[in-house]
Amino acid sequence: MRIALLTEGGYPYPHGDSSVWCDRLVRGLDGHDFEVHALGRDERHRDGAWPALPGNVRRVRTAPLWGPAPGSDGRRSGYGRRPRRRFGEHFADLARAVCAGAGGAVAEGTAGGDGGAAAQADRFADGLHGLADLAREHGGLPAALRSEQAVRLLESACRAPGALRAVRPATPADLLTVAEQLERALRPLSLDWYGDGTGGKTSGLAAADLCHAVGSGPAALPGLLARRLFGTPLLVTEYGVRLREHYLASAAHAVAPDAVSAPVRALLASLHGNLAREAYRRAELVTSGNTHARCWQERCGADRGRLRTVYPGMDASELTEIGEDTGRKRPDPVLVWVGRTGPARDLVGLLHAFAEVRRAVPGTRLLIAERPGGPAPERDPESARYLAHCRALAAQLFPDEAAGPLSVGENPVCFARIGDPALPRLADAYAAADVAVLSSVVEGFPVSLVEAMFAGRATVSTDVGAVCEAIGGTGLVVPPRNPRALADACTALLRDPARRARLGAAARARAQELFTAEQNVASFRGIYLELLSRRPRPAEPAVAALPFARPPEAHLPGRWTAPAAPAAASSGGRPARAPSWARTAAAGVPAGQGRGRR
């Protein structure tokens, strides 16, 4: 099977979104051929900036969603009169749908509801596919999408009845910003990835048996076009809902000093919402990593009958080698937190909860293990400032303690980075834990929580995201932003080693049943075969070439027809006779008592 894997800012680039999962999927399905079509988000995603790929990756094609459009200088700068009129019609449909909102919002005093949402979705689809046809016929869209005509059409759509109230005060500068972002999001429509799909040898996405898009944003656009042009099934997989991430990032940027205006944020949110809705509508199947993400997809327009949950697997061989908690009470128990630092992880609340734990269980220590692979401090200064604040808070809450007047004091809170000499492996962090803690206030699928389950450690976590779904009763769950509840749960487990051991064993059994890499790969192997079996049969010449496509009787010499079939005229004008065995059976003679063998 030939699989076109469509990614955005992820595989095959290292440290990209879902890059580890994609690599594991491709290596696990080594019986299929993959062709990767990757969209880069920034300068880190350059051609060739990836490690060695598996042998079943036959080709990698890339295109940047940053900077100037590739090849835009060499292409024509504009259209003729008729193509320009077609562009205006299609872009006006798309702009009106974007200005009306992702859910089909309508102006006050007009009819809305599901009918309005469906009409807006159809209008967005008509404009999108009309622009795609125009790009295929006339060599791309970048210049047209940034033209004065596009800006004027956006302005008209913002002022038209039915537009969102937030987009009506958009200024010309806002519209220019939106036009630039719109061109980058729709850049896949102008790529040469598709091929013609006409007889003979096919190329590009026309040769794929299945398009697998990792995300419902721009990465799904090539899959939508391949489905419309060639009937290729489309599978959309999201382990972090792309639209949800855009909303969270937009809310965070709203308070930044260099924040864009409210009309720009509303228009971009509507654009991504309409893209996600169209991908959900057209995909044969939409998979998510947990029920929390699945609810988001359904809320954004996905059909419940085409949604499926496939838990993200992980290679836990290193963690399962850790011995289980024996239930012995240690003099200096250890709480362990593992993850990437940031305000959403609420380490400040964890430090205040740990102060309560120290008073209840003296001698307890806290290990904060930072996971590698995050953005550099210069790229994420907010997380770097937050980590520095947490270090200062730990020094203030827990002054260095010394056993005697001649010994050196030591802080009970240890900050370490996995991979450093003090903490070389991830397994070393969980092996030292009596209880693993998750203190986040925002979380998708809790990877660190599942890692602790594989390690056989009891867990205390906040009720956010898919935590309850992942843990399934094998750990304690408390409300977020509640240090007292977090401290009480940790204290209860530290004081009861037998209960801690039981929960750790149950957590490991649950993780090995649901969250292994083998389970994830096997699920997608079955999904691929299911989608391919639904694809319509090819034309008759291709069917005739399949083995067993014709019955064995068709190879017998002579002209004959089955008894039940009407007599057909032979080439000489006489009706064809049935073979002797058919005439004998029709006369009621038992088998073996007819004419002798020739």
Q: Are 154 and 178 in contact (CB under 8 A)?
A: yes
Report the distance separating Cα 439 and Cα 345, nearest Å.
Answer: 6
- Residue 257 pLDDT: 52
Residues pairing with 287 in the sheet: 237, 308
562/153 Cα distance (integer angstroms): 66
pLDDT band for position 549 (cuts 50, 70, 90): low
Residue 562 pLDDT more than 70? Answer: no
Query: Highest mean pLDDT range out of 71-75, 375-379, 585-589?
Result: 375-379
Count CA atoms within 13 Å of residue 577 on its CB side. Answer: 7
* pLDDT, tens only, 391-410: 999 999 988 765 556 555 67
Task: Report how far residue 99's alpha carbon sits from residue 92's, in angstroms, rounded to the nearest whole number.
Answer: 10
Q: Greater confidence, 587 or 271?
A: 271
Residues 12-64 have pLDDT tens digits of 887 766 788 899 999 999 999 999 999 988 777 777 678 889 999 999 999 98
Alpha-carbon span 4 to 205, nearest angstrom: 7
What's the CATH superfamily of 317-515?
A: Glycogen Phosphorylase B; (3.40.50.2000)
Contact yes or no for 404/317 (Cβ under 8 A)? no
Distance CA 586, CA 598 (A): 20
- For residue 106, the model assigns a pLDDT of 36
Residue 176, pLDDT above cutoff 90: yes
% residues pLDDT > 90 (the chain)? 52
In the chain, residues under CATH classification 3.40.50.2000 are: 317-515
Distance in angstroms (rounded) separating the CA atoms of residues 93 and 128: 8
pLDDT digits (tens, 9 = 90+) for 242-255: 666 666 565 555 54
Strands of the sheet containing 285-288, edge to edge, are 57-64, 33-40, 2-8, 210-214, 234-238, 285-288, 307-309
Average pLDDT over every residue of 448-477: 94
Q: Is the pTM of this model over 0.75?
A: yes
Which helix (H) or strand (E) element contains residue 38?
A: strand 33-40
Q: What is the 8-class DSSP label of residue 554?
A: G
List, for residues 89-102, the tens digit of each pLDDT value.
Answer: 999 999 999 999 86
The span from the CA of 456 to the CA of 320, in Å, is 8
